Each structure stands twice: as structure tokens, then as C-alpha cells.
Amino acid sequence: MDTQITIADVAKYAGVSTATAGRVVGGYGNVSEKSREKVLKAVKELNYRPNVVAQSLRRNTTNTIAVILGSIKNNYCNKLIYAIEKEAQKHGCNVIICNTHEDPAQEYRHLQEMYSRHVDGVILMSAIKDFETVGEDYKNLYINDMPKVFVDRTIQGLNSHVIQSNNKEMSYAAVNYLIGLGHKKIGVLATDNYSTVRERVEGYRKALEDNGIPYFSDLILYAYAKEGNQDYKERLEYIRERGITAIYVLNNTLCIDVLNMVKKQTLRIPEDISLVVWDDEEINDYLDITTIAQPVERIGKIAVKNLLKQKIKDIDTENHEILKAEIIFRKSCREIEKENNVKAL
């Protein structure tokens, strides 16, 4: 039966004190070159493996951060993970990825598990919409001293450190662009009613209002909302029948549903229907789809840096940072004739 080699065994084998052996293995303090060589030789010959967890707890750091996201099926999340890992490695940190599947109960479990692992902090895209809906037994998961940075979404009623895109402003610009092309009946496809979606819908509504165009709530479809027993893909065809001339998609994961609808109805983009989509992907470039591109890499990079600053109390834990997205104009939108526009209304 193998015996666990301890730092005391290394010290005895090397003929030095346990404190000296600990300094060599831990990489801290001053040690003579002769003692260092003895300890390193002992480590090699005894095949000693330090207890990393114990070392981390003594130093009050595990060099590990957790990233808790709604769905890794979302390409935004994949890009965010890549950016976070890339930046974390620069700071000598490991990353643990957790997927909640947009389920608050799973989010609670992941947070509890990460805290029990003593991670240095959490980057969170929360599935929680309103802090009042959080049970009393779980509220402390969000208001404790653990460094936390929220990305993309905010939780209504919770003061937190947030990094996100300028959703309302860019949504306003995208809809204003469509209106400038003559579109007045613009259908919207969104995921669930998270803070980002609400902000983008606000921008959509404000653009219509500023241009004197009526707002129809039934032209906004939520992919996970259950209204009666009607599936949102069927309702997507319904809004097309309402005479819309453009579709505005608030999440790129839903773009395929629009493309399938267009194919099923033998429509053409942009000849029959114009299309604008949030979040840029390679397929958008391939299909010439006009896109609102978020600065995902910058969001991930800043999230890591700010999380580590929270660790050393060097940044406000209630900071709200908004980064600028941009519209990439391609060929999925066209100018429509005034007579067709009148008919659509």
C-alpha cells in the first residue's frame, strides 16, 4: 500500500527543516542554493506531489474562477468562454465552466458548489430575472463577499458589477436603419424576457415611436413563452401573414428558425423579407446577413480583470460598464417601395 509522502518526509530526506522544504516547494521566501538543490532532489526521488488544495487555502487563493452561463449552445457564450479562458491564463488562473440550461435551480446548485470549492470568483450570466423571485435560502449566494461579475444580463433589484453591450442604443439604431429603408411593420423574435431582451425591445419601440410608427405587441415573439398552446414557430409564420416586411432577431440562436420559415414559404432575403440579427457568426458573413456584433472578446477580458480586482478590493463591486456594439451592414435588407409599404400597414 502506497504511503502519502509529506513535506516533512521531503525535509528529512533532504536534511533540512520542514520550513525550508516548504519555502522551496511553495516558491516563497529566501533559501540558500545548496538547500534548494537538496530539496528539489528529494522531491524528485521521493516523487512528492504537493497538496495543491491545502496550499491554496493557506494562501487564500485557488487561482481558479468559475464561469456560470445560461446555455453553451449559444454561440455568444462559446465566444465568451474562449475570451475568458484566454485572459485567465494570462493571470495564471484556471477556469471551471458551468451550464445552467437557463434553470435558476441549477444556477443555485452551481453557485453553492463553486463556493465550496473556494474559487477566487464567479463570472455569471444569470438565469434570474428579478431578485425578488429568489428564495430566502438562496439570496446570500448573490450578496456575499465572493467576487462576482455579471455579464450580458442584470438581475432586477440586485446591485451588482455588470459588463454588457449598449443594447437599447444599438437596437434603436438597427430599427431606425430598417425604418430608413421604408420598413414600418417589423417583426421581432426573442428568447425569454431577460434584461438584455427588454433593453433591445425598448430600443425597438423607441425607434418606432420617434418615427411616428404604431407599435404592435403581437409582432414580438418570445421563443420560450407559452401563449395558449401555439408554438412560436407557428406564430413566426403568423406575423409574416400580418404583412411584416422585415424580421429583427434578438438572439442569433433563433436565426435558423427564421431561415427555415423563409425556405418553407419559398421567400427570398432580402427581396421578400429583410433580416437583421444580433450577434455575429461566420454563417452571417456567408449568408450576407446584417448583424449587430457585440464586443464579446472585450467583455470576457474585462470581466476577468475586474473579477481579479475585486479579489484585492481594487474596484467597486457595483460598477456597471457598458461597451459599444456595432452594426455590420451586409445584404439582407433592402429598400422597399412606398406603395408596398402602405399596403403592409
CATH number of the domain that 12 lies in?
Answer: 1.10.260.40
Question: What are the DSSP calls for 129-190, one per residue?
Answer: SBGGGS-TTTTHHHHSSS-EEEES---BT----EEEE-HHHHHHHHHHHHHHTT---EEEEE
Q: Answer yes or no: do 195 and 128 share one domain.
A: no
Q: Answer yes or no: do 218 and 336 share one domain.
A: yes
Q: Answer yes or no: do 105 and 45 share one domain.
A: no
End-to-end CA distance of the chain: 82
Q: Answer yes or no: do 156 and 14 share one domain.
A: no
Q: Which one is predicted more confidently, 150 or 221?
A: 150
* Domain annotation covers residue 171: yes
Q: Answer yes or no: do 11 and 153 share one domain.
A: no
Strand (E) or helix (H) holding 243: none
Of these ranges, 57-61, 73-77, 205-209, 262-266, the one predicted with the greatest mean pLDDT is: 205-209
Q: Grid coordinates in use for 147?
A: 467576487
Percentage above 70 pLDDT, the chain = 88
Mean pLDDT of 323-331: 97
pLDDT digits (tens, 9 = 90+) for 55-82: 555 556 778 999 999 888 888 999 999 9
| Number of folded domains that form the chain | 3
pLDDT-derived band at 4 (thresholds 50, 70, 90) equals confident
Q: What is the pTM of this model?
A: 0.79
pLDDT at res. 161: 93
pLDDT at res. 319: 84
Q: Answer yes or no: do 85 and 153 share one domain.
A: yes
Low-confidence winner among 138-147, 161-170, 314-323 (lowest mean pLDDT): 314-323
pLDDT at res. 287: 94
Cα separation, 147 vs 118, in Å, equals: 11
Mean pLDDT of 224-230: 46
pLDDT-derived band at 233 (thresholds 50, 70, 90) equals low
CATH number of the domain that 262 lies in?
Answer: 3.40.50.2300
pLDDT at 252 exceeding the cut of 60? yes
Q: Answer yes or no: do 335 and 263 share one domain.
A: yes
pLDDT at res. 28: 65
Q: Answer yes or no: do 262 and 171 share one domain.
A: yes
Cα separation, 72 vs 37, in Å, equals: 47
Q: CB-based contacts of 340: which residues, under 8 Å, 6+ apart?
A: 245
pLDDT-derived band at 339 (thresholds 50, 70, 90) equals very low
Q: Answer yes or no: do 46 and 69 share one domain.
A: no
* Domain annotation covers residue 1: no
pLDDT-derived band at 54 (thresholds 50, 70, 90) equals low
Parallel/antiparallel/unpaired status of strands 290-293 and 274-278: parallel
pLDDT digits (tens, 9 = 90+) for 78-114: 999 999 999 999 988 999 999 999 999 999 999 999 9
Q: What is the DSSP letter of 91?
A: T
* Domain annotation covers residue 212: yes
Q: Answer yes or no: do 77 and 172 share one domain.
A: no
pLDDT-derived band at 5 (thresholds 50, 70, 90) equals confident
* Domain annotation covers residue 55: no
Q: Answer yes or no: do 181 and 255 share one domain.
A: yes
* Domain annotation covers residue 79: yes
Mean pLDDT of 19-43: 84
- Please state, rounded to an integer, the average pLDDT across all residues of the chain: 87
Low-confidence winner among 50-64, 115-129, 253-267 (lowest mean pLDDT): 50-64
Question: What are the DSSP calls for 314-343, one per residue?
Answer: -S-TT-EEEE--EEE--SS-----HHHHHH
Q: Answer yes or no: do 186 and 334 share one domain.
A: yes
pLDDT-derived band at 294 (thresholds 50, 70, 90) equals very high
Domain residues for 273?
167-289+330-344
Mean pLDDT of 145-169: 95
* Domain annotation covers residue 145: yes
Low-confidence winner among 156-165, 281-290, 307-316 (lowest mean pLDDT): 307-316
pLDDT-derived band at 289 (thresholds 50, 70, 90) equals very high
pLDDT at res. 225: 45
